Chains A and B, each alone.
Chain A
Amino acid sequence: MAQKCNGARIMTCKSAFVYSNSLLNYHFHSDHPFNQKRVLLTKDLLEASDILDQTDMIKPRMATEEELALFHDVPYIEAVKKASKGLLSDKEAMEYGIGTEDTPIFSGMHEASSYLVGATLEAVDAVLESNYDHALNLGGGLHHGFKRKASGFCIYNDGAIAINYIRQKYNLRVLYVDTDAHHGDGVQWAFYDDPNVCTFSIHETGRYLFPGTGNVNERGIKEGHGYTFNLPIDAFTEDESFIQLYKSAFEEITSFFQPDVIVTQNGADAHSLDPLTHLCASMQIYEKIPSIAHQLAHTYCNGKWIALGGGGYDIWRVVPRAWAQIWSIMKTGNKLEGEIPITWQQKWNEEATVSLPTTWHDDKSKFPTIPRKAEITEKNEKVLESALKYTKNKRVL
């Protein structure tokens, strides 16, 4: 067996990349912003960079209906199955949030969605059963799915299902960390009263952005009070402030909660180029996000870390680079630097609707100057302080 992974020193961790083309079938229509071609583009970029090959990959399976029902209501699953075959009435569809502009009906949607869930469950089993240190399913992270309602491009909530699966099958305490620019509402509400699942979401404030929730005072209820953390950051937040908040909060929360396993949702839509959100981050945050998760997983969880995809709507310039960094950190402990492989650029250049990036880093001189930077940073610091005010108290007790 290869030498055991050690996050402090740089060695190779045993990591699994969950992939098959079945993950690409989750496809609403050609004009829809949610496009799983991102997963293929990332895989391709990693292969071109020589850090991913067949031996790293494990195949997803289709989640069973019993597994879906770990989180979703059976009538909802039945409705999705009917919609999948084109048999759901408009009225029923409306009740379950399907057939909307955001989450339209497509043929085979039940099967396609079940594959994304099965891929996440395979990632979980790889880490908790098959002695992998880390596993990555970029097809997952559909955090807006509700118990009996589809929303925000999400049908089945693979993160919530996987956490229930971990709770039932392995009885471990789970820390869920969501860095999508949108609030991870579906997962938060799923475990709002549960002290064994801690959720932490950093996102653009809901003042302007969907879904609107994720306020700092949403802290959980009943036994789960104090196990929900939200950092709603200001529109136009840049790298330094984002990283400062993410790092401080993640470290503090992990130390407070002492998880057995970490599940991260890695939406890549906080970048300045993302068309749906208003944050102003560069690729720098997508190097820090996985490296801090990696380090904390080793410090607290014996390395156990499952990473999922999520949002990300600039599929050419932002998402492949951002997601490739997760795998690079998982597998090698290092971020990718320098030039983007020319083979990848050549392969996709024609199909791309914008000019492809040529380096892993962004040229920050091309970024806008944010006039209110100091105020935004200060406001975000207040949010951090408020979000963490109880972790310090509890530890004293």
Chain B
Amino acid sequence: MLVEEIMKKSVVTLPATSSIREALQLLHKHRIRHIPIVSSEKEVIGIVSDRDVRDASPSILSRHDDVEDIQELDAEIKTIMSQPVVTIHPLDFVEDIARIFYDEEFACLPVVSQNKLVGIVTEKDMLYTLIHLTGTHVQSSHIEVKVPDVPGILPEVTAVFGKRKTNITSLLVYPYKDDPNYKILVFRVQTMNPLPIVQDLKEEGYELIWPKNVMGQES
């Protein structure tokens, strides 16, 4: 999956000469937490977060003035913006930018193409994409199979679903605890009645992690 598929294309920005007050108002109005600062050519020259703005504002405990009267907020935004800015490209892979979020602890990445700002991806967008990858956003049931970690295993298992004409909404593969000889396949399938598939999988000799047998379920 590419960044251009998940990025937001309409981005709230400010020029470097605008005031901190304007930034504060925009953050509130759009309920966002980051504003890229751009040149007249739409090049990203900095970024401010709600925390930067808050740090630049006087404490609400010591002052009782209206926002209009607070002089500190008249300062230019470039005095508090972070730079240089880590940016990403529309053709970057979502998996790779997840790594940036994790390593750098940023919560927002501007997307730049040919030196111009074209979009933005936040941690929240990233998590939403993850929800979609797990397939829990559409009607489905969950089946989990433990398989030997060998080439060709995946088409063998998925053929069982194919034979039952059951649509797979998502498939995740992850390691089995500490044993490198096995993998866990997690399927979300579009059916309310996974029993026939569960039966088929058992007959093919696969070990099911879910659904597990407790009682009464004839297997």
A: residues with CB less than 8 A from B are: 33, 100-102, 144, 151-153, 182, 185, 206-213, 236, 272-273, 275-276, 278, 280, 367-368, 370
Contacts and interface: CB of A to CB of B under 8 A. Distances in A.
Given A101-B166, A275-B217, A208 B211 contact: yes
B61 interface: no
Interface stretch (B21-29, B137-145, B152-160): B137-145
Nearest to A274: B216
Nearest to A370: B214
Given A101-B166, A101-B193, A102-B191, A211 B140 contact: yes
A208, A213, A278 pick with most chain B CB within 10 angstroms: A208
B60 interface: no
A254 to B, nearest CB: 29
A212 B188 contact: yes
A367 B192 contact: no
Interface string B126-142: 00000000011111111
Given A101-B164, A273-B216, 9 more contacts: A101-B191, A102-B190, A185-B139, A207-B142, A208-B142, A210-B141, A211-B139, A211-B140, A212-B136
Say what secondary structure dominates the interface of chain A.
Answer: loop
A368 B217 CA distance: 12
B interface, how many residues as a size bin? 20 to 34
A33 B193 contact: yes
A388 B166 CA distance: 37
Contacts of A153: 192
B167 to A, nearest CB: 8
A108 to B, nearest CB: 22
A152 B215 contact: no
B217 to A, nearest CB: 6
A375 B194 CA distance: 27
A210 B188 CA distance: 9
5 contacts: A210-B139, A211-B139, A212-B137, A212-B139, A275-B218
Contacts of A211: 139-140, 192
Contacts of A273: 216
Interface of B: 135-142, 164-166, 188, 190-196, 210-211, 214-218
Contact of A208 (B137, B141, B214): B141
Nearest to B196: A101
B135 to A, nearest CB: 8
A367 B214 CA distance: 10
Contacts of B188: 212
Contacts of B137: 212
Contacts of B192: 102, 144, 151-153, 182, 210-211, 276
Contacts of A185: 139
A227 to B, nearest CB: 22
Contacts of B193: 33, 101-102, 276
A213 B214 contact: no
B195 to A, nearest CB: 6
Contacts of A368: 214-215
A211 B142 CA distance: 10
Given A102-B193, A153-B192, A236 B214 contact: yes
B211 A212 contact: no
B135, B141, B188, B215 pick with most chain A CB within 10 angstroms: B141
A314 to B, nearest CB: 8
B140, B166, B192, B193 pick with most chain A CB within 10 angstroms: B192
Given A101-B165, A102-B193, A276-B195, A210 B214 contact: no
A153 B141 CA distance: 14
Nearest to B142: A208
A315 to B, nearest CB: 14
Contacts of A210: 139-141, 191-192, 194
A213 B141 contact: no
Contacts of A275: 195, 216-218
Contact of B140 (A212, A272, A367, A370): A212
A100 B165 CA distance: 8
Contacts of B140: 210-212
B142 A152 contact: no
A162 to B, nearest CB: 22
A319 to B, nearest CB: 14
A368 B136 CA distance: 29
A204 B211 CA distance: 13
Contacts of A206: 136
A278 B164 CA distance: 22
B210 A208 contact: yes
Nearest to A353: B218
A209 B142 contact: yes
Going nearest first, the 3 A-B pairs with the smallest beta carbon separation are: A211-B139, A208-B142, A152-B192
Contacts of B141: 208-210, 212
Nearest to B218: A275
Contacts of B218: 275
A367 B137 CA distance: 34
Given A208-B142, A209-B142, A280 B195 contact: no
B137, B140, B165, B166 pick with most chain A CB within 10 angstroms: B140
Contacts of A280: 214
A100 B167 CA distance: 10
Contacts of A182: 192
Nearest to A32: B193
